[in-house]
Amino acid sequence: MTEPMIKLTIDGELLEVPAGTTVMKAAEKLGINIPRLCYHPDLSLEGACRVCVVQVEGFNHFIASCSQQVWEGMMVQTNSPQIRQARRDILELLLDNHPKDCQTCERDGNCELQRQAYRLGVRERLFEGKRKQYPQDESSKSVVRNPEKCILCGRCIRVCAEVQGVQNLSQHGRGFNTVVGPANLGPMDESACIQCGQCVAVCPTAAFLEKDHTERVWEALSGAAGKKHLVVHTAPAIRATIGESFGFPLGTPVTGQLVTALRRLGFDAIFDTNFGADLTVIEEGNEFLKRLNGEGPLPLLTSCSPGWINFMEKFYPEMIPLASTCKSPMQMTSTLIKTYYAERKGIDPKDIFVVAIMPCVAKKYEAARPEQLLSQGETVTDAVLTTRELAWMIKSYGIDFANLPEGEYDRPLGVSSGAGDIFGTTGGVMEAALRTVAVKLTGEELGPLVFEAVRGIVGLKEATVSIGGQEINVAVCDGLTHAKKALAYIKSGEKNYHLVEMMACPGGCIMGGGQPYPPFEMDVLDPELAKLRAKALYSVDAHKQLRRSHENPAITKLYEEYIGEPNGEKAHELLHTHYQARMPRGIR
């Protein structure tokens, strides 16, 4: 049924839009972008900032265009002098209660508050007075909460509740003393936070940021604390997104430039986390085949996404037996760097400093997980940089990224298949696994490569794949509200899945909490953005000779030389881990 059309006038221009359209969207049809702050197209309406007010004939008060639907004959003015002054004053009120430290702020240049203040013409301060003062919460390994920079738009609260289903954040206090934080304003690391970093992604200011690891990387690069062998590896999704920070069009893979930039920064070896992804396919694939044979419970839940693992440990500890025991590709790669690679190179692992470039902030916590440390308690990953952090380091160093020659990853841990590349998008882990599982189950070397059913930005994708006469029910979840849905099906027995891919962030790693802030005309969480970034990964995959993980010769060699059997004793020692229930403080 098509909606009836409504005629209205905006700024003197008559237009027709479907019933139910908001004034903000109607104005966009005329090419008028009404300023906004709390509004986010992929979250529920808040109507709190009031920056998007417009004047409507017949009303004494101004109306928020984000939430007001059009009506027949409505007369709207978006830029009357009164409206311009009101918006300017609202913006100033926000600024008056915000630190005056733009020049030293991490979000300088890509802050939405700063941008709107400039656009609305706040050139002087009229109403300044007292300003809120709160300590910064640095308790979390991944996310830093800075309430002084918060403008109470509520996006973080909404993304945490509506997209991730975690509901860790809420407003506390009233009026001027309102502040956003976890339950009872306790420390973030004792809260229900699963560290996905989506709050960081949607925050218009710097009220939420990732925990900074650049300092420790600069220090390692300088050799000030003793020269170490510096190894870096880059997650699959980085090549698809870091170009955005250097002016490349959205969805441009820049693998070669990335490698060269890292070499310029001074790393001794540059590997690809894709290697770990290929390895994950082998280990997880074997685990799956075993369980499919009755050795262990089904469905198998994947374990690459640390946000998901945190979510499971905090909210669904009863699901732990279903989760794959495989470490994540990052941790597999780092472990092998400090064992296999170190032994082959004859370097004491203590003299190796491993940096992982990740699209994710939860990886910062994962790197510090006590059960994943080496036997003497050393971390396998010594620093985790988000895509944003690395982009800033490259800029800070002065490297002309766009014009760099394309470099190549080092061997052996830089060799990877296209299956590893697509790990960075929702459905990619599943597709990579199916490519290998299909071959293993049928014994035919040339099984299917592309599994369309698990591609796309949908939320919860379900498919039944027929392999070698066996029907395999798979599900792919991105965004934890979708994971919740799948888990409910599993719990109730309503769905009979065999293999479920879990990714905490909506769209997968390409939309991770550590990815570049999108250009201003796009919104974080925009499915179009996810599609463009995913396209980049699929094209990298399509252009590779190696498309299946088990075809990766470096992997084959690794098993021959070092690990032995997949899922064997050595594999379990190095590549697998275990989980435990971790209830937030105050919950038993």
Partner 1 sequence: MSTSVTQFFEGLQSRVLEATAARRLQEKIVIQVGSATCEHAAGSLDVMDEFVKHVKSSGRQDVVLRKTGCTGRCSKEPIVGVTVPGQLPVKYERVNRELVHKIFTSHIQDGAPVVESALDDSLSEIHKSEFVFCAGVRCGLEGENVMMHKFAQKLRDRAPHPETIKVSKVGCFGACSQEDRGKCAYILHRPSKAMYRIHSEQDLDEIIATQVLGGQLVERLLATDQLVSKDFFDMYGDVAFFNRQSRVALRNCGVVDPESLDEYVTYGGFKALGTVLTNRDPQWVINEVLKARLRGRGGGGFPTGKKWQMAFDQKETTRYLICNGDEGDPGAFMDRGMLESDPFNIVEGMIIGAYAIQAQKGFLYIRAEYPLAIKRIQNAIDLSRASGLLGQDIMASGYSFDLEIRLGAGAFVCGEETALIASIEGERGQPGLRPPYPVEKGLWGKPTCINNVETFANISAIINFGGDWFARIGTAESGGTKVFALAGRVKHTGLVEVPLGTTLKDVVFDIGGGVQDDKPLKAVQTGGPAGGFIPAKWLDMEVDFAPLAKAGSIMGSGGMIVLSEEDCIVDIAKFYLSFTTDESCGKCTPCREGTTRMQEILERITIGTAVMGDLDKLERLAQLCQQTSLCGLGRAAPNPILSSLDHFRDEYLEHIIDKRCRSKKCVALIRYVISQELCIGCTVCARNCPVECISGKRKEVHVIDQERCIKCGQCFQVCRFDAVERG
| Contacts to partner 1 by CB under 8 A | 45-51, 53, 60-62, 64, 67, 69, 82, 85-86, 89-90, 93-94, 96-97, 126-127, 129-130, 151-152, 154, 170-171, 173-178
Would you state the structure tokens that stand for residue 526, as one six-digit string? Answer: 């925009």
Q: Which residues contact 47 (CB under 8 A, 6 or more apart)?
A: 38, 64, 66, 67
Nearest residue (CB) to partner 1, 54 versus 265: 54
Give catalytic status of residue 105 as yes or no: no
Nearest residue (CB) to partner 1, 152 versus 163: 152
Beta-sheet strand order (sheet of 63-64): 13-18, 5-10, 74-77, 53-56, 63-64
Nearest residue (CB) to partner 1, 20 versus 553: 20
The torsion of the CA quartet 575, 579, 584, 588, rounded to 10 degrees, works out to: -170
Alpha carbon distance 94, 127 (integer Å): 10
Q: Which of 284, 313, 501, 551 is catalytic?
A: 284
Would you state the structure tokens that stand for residue 262, as one six-digit string? Answer: 């890292």
Would you state the structure tokens that stand for residue 181, as one six-digit string? Answer: 């934080």
Nearest residue (CB) to partner 1, 96 versus 138: 96
Nearest residue (CB) to partner 1, 17 versus 94: 94
Q: Which of 150, 156, 304, 360 is catalytic?
A: 304
**Torsion over CA: 493, 495, 500, 501 (sign):** negative
Q: Which of 65, 324, 328, 417 is catalytic?
A: 324
Q: Tell me which residue of 225, 223, 164, 175 sits closest to 199, measured CA to CA.
A: 164
Which residue type occupies 528?
E
Q: Which of 124, 215, 295, 371 is catalytic?
A: 371
Residue 211 main-chain phi, psi, to 5 deg: -70, 130
Give catalytic status of residue 408 as yes or no: no
Q: Which residues contact 581 (CB under 8 A, 6 or more apart)?
A: 313, 314, 317, 320
Q: Please, what is the minimum distance in Å from the beta carbon of residue 124 to partner 1? A: 12
Helix (H) or strand (E) holding 199: helix 198-202
Nearest residue (CB) to partner 1, 67 versus 539: 67
Give catalytic status of residue 345 as yes or no: no
Q: Which of 66, 153, 203, 509 is catalytic?
A: 509
Give catalytic status of residue 371 as yes or no: yes
105 in Cβ contact with 111 (< 8 Å): yes
Give catalytic status of residue 363 as yes or no: yes
Residue 170 main-chain phi, psi, to 5 deg: -155, 170
Would you state the structure tokens that stand for residue 68, as one six-digit string? Answer: 């007001």
137 in Cβ contact with 169 (< 8 Å): no
Q: Please, what is the minimum distance in Å from the beta carbon of residue 151 to partner 1? A: 8
Q: Please, what is the minimum distance in Å from the beta carbon of residue 16 to partner 1? A: 21
Give catalytic status of residue 287 as yes or no: yes
HSE toward the beta carbon, residue 151, CA cutoff 13 A: 30
Q: What is the DSSP secondary structure assignment for residue 515, as one 8-state letter?
A: S
Would you state the structure tokens that stand for residue 448, as one six-digit string? Answer: 């299917």
Alpha carbon distance 59, 61 (integer Å): 5
As a whole number of angstroms, the longest Cα–Cα distance in the chain is 80
Q: Tell me which residue of 219, 229, 220 sits closest to 343, measured CA to CA.
A: 229
Q: Please, what is the minimum distance in Å from the beta carbon of residue 46 to partner 1? A: 8
Q: Please, what is the minimum distance in Å from the beta carbon of residue 150 to partner 1? A: 11
Nearest residue (CB) to partner 1, 56 versus 540: 56
Give catalytic status of residue 313 as yes or no: no
Nearest residue (CB) to partner 1, 6 versus 94: 94
Give catalytic status of residue 324 as yes or no: yes
Nearest residue (CB) to partner 1, 175 versus 493: 175
Q: Please, what is the minimum distance in Å from the beta carbon of residue 127 to partner 1? A: 4
Nearest residue (CB) to partner 1, 68 versus 334: 68
Alpha carbon distance 443, 437 (integer Å): 9
- Helices 273-292/428-442 angle, 10° precision: 50
Is it true that the peptide bond before 321 is cis, omega within 30 degrees of 0? no
369 in Cβ contact with 342 (< 8 Å): no
Helix ranges, 269-305 (H): 273-292
Q: Please, what is the minimum distance in Å from the beta carbon of residue 45 to partner 1? A: 6
SS3 state of residue 386: strand
Q: Please, what is the minimum distance in Å from the beta carbon of residue 513 to partner 1? A: 25
Task: Catalogue the active-site residues.
Answer: 284, 287, 304, 324, 363, 366, 371, 509
